[in-house]
Structure 1
């Protein structure tokens, strides 16, 4: 029996598996795809809070080298979202394809000894008080103390534990491509919508651009062949130019759903990432939300399996992350519905009111989109800070709890590392392994929480 089986070797599953292995647990990843199969995906951006989580794992600086930093998002001509003012060293969105994130997380998982079984398709699951057994398509079985389904929007794990996936389809036939251009867009991220469609263009920083486009006049199934001319046509109508798009390295159609499971935990089985929630690509929050699911769940599983916390800690995964998933559904849904407004008068109101509102709530909107403004009640995000020896996020590496204190307290548990800040704190601050506040006060009152 292994400690944890993670189903799905996408970013969510790989980050979670790496965290569990770093905590000294035995973890195996089951991936339906064969090892040679590429994972062509819609994800294109990494937000500030996700970069902070990657920084806690010593991965952010390497990932940043793969993409383009964008500090302003321009929507519908008049709405501007300034990310440069975010209170983070990562005050931007990093435009980079999902496979770069997967490659980095897979290398980390490999270094930490995670076992990844490719071509391992889960078809059955049973659980009892002692553990979980999954059955594979080849007839084999695997048993673990806990199972995490990070197997995407069509999650087999979700189906096997009987969780519904309520919601609806919002957009059909969104066109997607990575292209070269002959004329660079004037803005780093260019988005606009007219009555008959919308287009989004973002740079990866290596000469390739990610394009999303939607044409109200042509609603077809996902498997309908797609041509670059279709994407160029709707982009010209939405943005006034197609930027001389050419040489696509891949193109596809997809439909966008808004769905969320009621329960992220059923007994000894958990759901994370797209297996638990899916929504429109507006705001580029899908992969980011999944990675932050994993960061929240990993240290909690480790604490319970290492005997430092009771099973009740695992219930906080639902209470902390489910509201975040619901918020992302609502915010991305509002953006996509704004883009779909058909009437000229409606678009005028959208642009005028949106521009006016952003002057008053721009900082809050940037905080929510980037993840910097997300908190779990009293468990607020703790920003990075300078220490006498390094930085706070460096001290969190290895999955530790960190106690920020001016002086060395007595009776600190072995799993809590004590650090001294350059600027004194009013009282000791306990920081959870995911970079959120665990508590304040005397060290003796702290435990895993």
Structure 2
């Protein structure tokens, strides 16, 4: 029987982020993945600003950015543009790069922190009791091989839309199919759009999306293309003909980009689904195992990585002595975010594929005008980027609680760099002396503006705000989240 603190099923971006974070905290972590190697044919291609912040806090952002193309926003329909350039973040662009590059960086991170990744193994059984979870796996390519068993304190199911962990738990995945027969391909275009970021084109019958993958050479440039034809609905198993891709691109964009080559292609359908609960005893669902939605807006991979960043430090805290109720906050905080992502990506998909002419005309008139209003522009861009998403605060908490702390200006360095080792950070007011905290390993920093002191969680969100001299205030919150500062009374988390 193999043993570890946390067993993670699925070595995609969600599972790898959780593995790296838990291993960084000193926990023993094993990841089981049925694929024998990193999947080179993943669908995701857009890394959003909030995810880039999380990668920066793990020392990965620069390497991943170097693999792709930074786009200022998304052109959708009627000339409307979702513009990221005004966001309150150091990362004001969408990174266009194949998911395999993100997976590769996160694999280095997880293994570099001491996480164990076991590939070629599929989970076949899961049983949990009061003390832990027993998971049985076997080689994916040899069903007759001797099964291998693991015993873990907690399990994270990050094994995708067709999650085995979810099925073994008997958890429903309610929802419905939104679009069928979407073709995805990597294409080289002689005359593709130049420097426009993500570009979407549509008519009543077709839509297409183009994401630039790199610089132009003498012949042309490579793009990730997504195309859909209302009149050509085929099963997922049907092959994708290059002529189909070229035809839909021309009809949707209104211009012939001259398709030169296709290196990879697939066909899929997209659903809108979400589990009712993210926590099931000692087993947690994250990423696509918990929620799936349309690919419009590039939210899937990003939401999963953010799920992992929320969950991992909480499991570490409970393993370190925090109350079990800390783990309930994972569902409380992330389920509403998942529901919002389903809504906004679904609205974009329905907007792009509108069929009635009057509705399309109204869309093309109203949406571009709305997106020229700064407050609307920044709210919509921030929602897709993930930078304006926040967690609901409780009645006794002050307004800043639950919002990102990443843009607080520090006297020295940046918060994302201070978070390379994880843990809580107390940011004091400008000029305030360091606050003693005997017996507590707490990193401190100082603001260089006139804002209040804040206690920042390992996932960069504010847990408390007030005067830093109020040790009873911030220490009680720290104790509630971590079990530390035992000489104070913890405030309730719910």
With over 3 angstroms needed to count, the CA separation of the structure-2 counterparts of 1:413 and 1:169, relative to structure 1, is farther
Shift of residue 32, structure 1, vs aligned partner: 0.7
With over 3 angstroms needed to count, the CA separation of the structure-2 counterparts of 1:188 and 1:411, relative to structure 1, is closer
Shift of residue 375, structure 1, vs aligned partner: 0.3
Aligned twin of 1:250: 264
Residues 1:87 and 2:95 are matched in the alignment? no
Distance, in Å, in 2 between the alignment partners of 1:440 and 1:328 is: 28
Distance, in Å, in 2 between the alignment partners of 1:31 and 1:255 is: 23
Aligned twin of 2:66: 65
What are the residue-to-residue correspondences of 1:314-353 with 2, within 5 Å?
314-353=327-366
Distance, in Å, in 1 between the alignment partners of 2:8 and 2:330 is: 16
Shift of residue 414, structure 1, vs aligned partner: 2.6
Shift of residue 81, structure 1, vs aligned partner: 1.3
Shift of residue 424, structure 1, vs aligned partner: 5.0
SS at match of 2:270: strand
Assess if the C-alpha contact under 8 Å between 1:232 and 1:245 holds in 2: yes
Residues 1:222 and 2:236 are matched in the alignment? yes
Distance, in Å, in 2 between the alignment partners of 1:413 and 1:153 is: 44
Structure 1 residue ranges without an equivalent (≥5): none
Assess if the C-alpha contact under 8 Å between 1:77 and 1:351 holds in 2: yes
Distance, in Å, in 2 between the alignment partners of 1:246 and 1:240 is: 18
Assess if the C-alpha contact under 8 Å between 1:411 and 1:444 holds in 2: no
What CA deviation, in whole Å up to 9, does each residue of 1:196-221 have, x standing for no partner? Answer: 11001110224420100000011010
Aligned residues: 446
Structure 2 residue ranges without an equivalent (≥5): 139-145, 216-220, 394-401, 482-494
Distance, in Å, in 2 between the alignment partners of 1:408 and 1:93 is: 38
Q: Which moved more, 1:382-391 or 1:37-46?
A: 382-391
The partner residue of 2:454 within 429, 432, 435 is 429
Assess if the C-alpha contact under 8 Å between 1:384 and 1:393 holds in 2: no
TM-score by length of 1: 0.97
What are the residue-to-residue correspondences of 1:47-62 with 2, within 5 Å?
47-62=48-63
Shift of residue 109, structure 1, vs aligned partner: 1.1
Aligned twin of 1:375: 390
Assess if the C-alpha contact under 8 Å between 2:7 and 2:155 holds in 1: yes
What are the residue-to-residue correspondences of 1:130-145 with 2, within 5 Å?
130-137=131-138, 138-145=146-153
CA RMSD across the alignment: 1.4
The partner residue of 2:305 within 260, 277, 291 is 291
Assess if the C-alpha contact under 8 Å between 1:168 and 1:259 holds in 2: yes
SS at match of 1:243: coil
Shift of residue 443, structure 1, vs aligned partner: 3.3
Shift of residue 283, structure 1, vs aligned partner: 0.2
SS at match of 1:34: coil
With over 3 angstroms needed to count, the CA separation of the structure-2 counterparts of 1:39 and 1:163, relative to structure 1, is farther
Q: Which moved more, 1:405-414 or 1:158-167?
A: 405-414
Distance, in Å, in 1 between the alignment partners of 2:294 and 2:17 is: 23
Distance, in Å, in 2 between the alignment partners of 1:163 and 1:39 is: 29
Distance, in Å, in 2 between the alignment partners of 1:438 and 1:329 is: 26
Distance, in Å, in 2 between the alignment partners of 1:189 and 1:132 is: 43
Residues 1:117 and 2:126 are matched in the alignment? no
Shift of residue 31, structure 1, vs aligned partner: 0.5
Assess if the C-alpha contact under 8 Å between 1:412 and 1:443 holds in 2: no
Aligned twin of 1:313: 326
SS at match of 2:133: strand
TM-score by length of 2: 0.88
What CA deviation, in whole Å up to 9, does each residue of 1:345-368 have, x standing for no partner? Answer: 221111112122223411110110
The partner residue of 1:440 within 461, 465, 469 is 465
What are the residue-to-residue correspondences of 1:173-322 with 2, within 5 Å?
173-186=181-194, 187-206=196-215, 207-307=221-321, 309-322=322-335
Shift of residue 412, structure 1, vs aligned partner: 5.4
Shift of residue 188, structure 1, vs aligned partner: 2.5
Distance, in Å, in 1 between the alignment partners of 2:371 and 2:67 is: 30
Assess if the C-alpha contact under 8 Å between 2:88 and 2:407 holds in 1: no
Assess if the C-alpha contact under 8 Å between 1:84 and 1:91 holds in 2: yes
